[in-house]
Amino acid sequence: MAPSAIIESVVAVTQADTLGPDIYQNAQAVFGGLLSAQAKSAASATVPPNFHTYSSHSSFIKPVTLNAGGRVFYHVERTADGRAYTTRLVHATQGDKDNTCVYIAVISFQSRDKSPHNALNYGTPLPDLSGVSPDDIPEGLNQKMPAASASPDGPFKQLDSDGEPFDWRPLRFALTNEPYTCRSHSFARSLPLSTTSAAVNLAALAYMSDQVLFSIAIYANPDKVGERAKNVTMGATLSHNVSFHDPAVKVDEWMVVERETSWGGGGRVLIHERIWDLKSGSLVMTCMQEALIRLRDSKI
């Protein structure tokens, strides 16, 4: 068996037996996309193995504090169990005394055995890559870009390449006069996984979908955010909704990621993301995120 990839331990959860049934935890400190990935792992542990996630609707309620190791507990409610579709409600809490709710997710599953054959079948095609492959882009380039473009006191931190679960290869960023016409494209994959489990692959994809996703809205507004994003004082995810189109997706094989922003107002921005399998060209995931971005001297 191949060594466990970083992303496998990142998304894994274990049962918190002393706290009651259907409560799970992860020993690592939690931040960002880890909440949605670990919540999906917890929910997946309560459904039969032939059920796979097809959608996840997340709301981030409060920031996770990193004291006491940042441990978060995932309380899974078995909301509905059907022959073809199943739904789970997950509350993520932190703190032994006040049990503060920091995150909520509604996660839906479909049985592979009950998938209809007389159904519509289509998907947005893979964008034109102009003949560029991941091997044409230097490894580690994605770690250099945040360091060069982000202000030291801004909301972004440079990724540690030794602890980064995914290999990102930025392909292009189309900056235009209007933020809503900007597009970014990247290649991404994890290190080789030791498992073919759909639950692990889809949880890993959920994690990847939220990696600095709202940064596209910052890069699309260079005049307002300032050089090296010096005018950005805060960025936080408010909601994160994902549709998983292919339960057979393999995150350790190259994927193509497209990101754009369609709207900004009231201190919030709306982000859209699509991910394709590079080999087959099929759309494997669609995501929409609403985020808070606060600028210096903002009245929000």
212, pLDDT greater than 90: no
Q: What Å distances lie between residue 3 and 195, 225, 253, 293, CA to CA?
A: 10, 42, 16, 39
Quickly name the fold that domain 6-113+133-295 has: Porin (2.40.160)
pLDDT given at position 142: 66
Domain ranges of the chain: 6-113+133-295
Q: Which residue has the higher pLDDT, 95 or 29?
A: 95
User: Could you give the CA distance from residue 86 to residue 88 in angstroms, rounded to a whole number?
Assistant: 7
Task: Classify each residue of 165-198 as buried b or exposed e, where b means 16 or more C-beta atoms within 10 Å of its C-beta.
Answer: bbbbbbbeeeeeeebeebbbbbbbbbbebeeeeb
Q: Give yes or no for residue 96 having a pLDDT over 70.
A: no
Backbone angles phi, psi at 143, to 5 degrees: -75, -30
Task: Return the pLDDT at 28.
Answer: 66
**Per-residue pLDDT tens over the stretch 22-64:** 999 986 656 668 899 999 999 999 999 999 999 999 999 998 8
Q: What is the mean pLDDT of residues 104-126?
A: 91
Give the pLDDT mean for 121-139. Answer: 95
Q: What does the mean pLDDT of the chain come to? A: 88
pLDDT in tens, 250-275: 999 999 999 999 999 999 999 999 99
Mean of the pLDDT values across residues 269-283? Answer: 98
Give CA–CA dist 278/262, Å, rounded. 25
pLDDT exceeds cutoff 90 at 7 = yes
Exposed/middle/buried for residue 227 (C-beta within 10 Å: 0-12, 13-18, 19+): exposed
pLDDT band, very low/low/confident/very high, at 99 (cuts 50, 70, 90) = confident
- Cα 300 from Cα 268, distance rounded (Å): 10
User: Is residue 79 a contact partner of residue 87, using CB atoms and an 8 Å limit?
Assistant: yes
